[in-house]
Amino acid sequence: MHNHEQYWLAPELVRAGKCSEASEVYSMGSLAKQILPPDSKYPWELHNWVYESQHYHPYHRPTLQEGIEACRDALVALQD
pLDDT attached to residue 15: 84
pLDDT tens-digit readout, 10-69? 988 888 888 899 999 999 999 998 888 777 777 888 999 999 999 999 999 999 999 999
Higher per-residue pLDDT: 79 or 40: 79
pLDDT attached to residue 54: 95
* pLDDT at residue 71 greater than cutoff 80: yes
| Other C-beta atoms lying within 10 Å of the C-beta of residue 37 | 7
Q: What is the largest CA-CA distance in the chain?
A: 45
C-alpha 17: how far from chain center: 19
CATH superfamily of 3-79: Transferase(Phosphotransferase) domain 1 (1.10.510.10)
CA distance 37 to 15: 30
pLDDT attached to residue 20: 93
**Is the full-model pTM beyond 0.95?**
no
Parse the chain into domains and list their residue ranges. Answer: 3-79
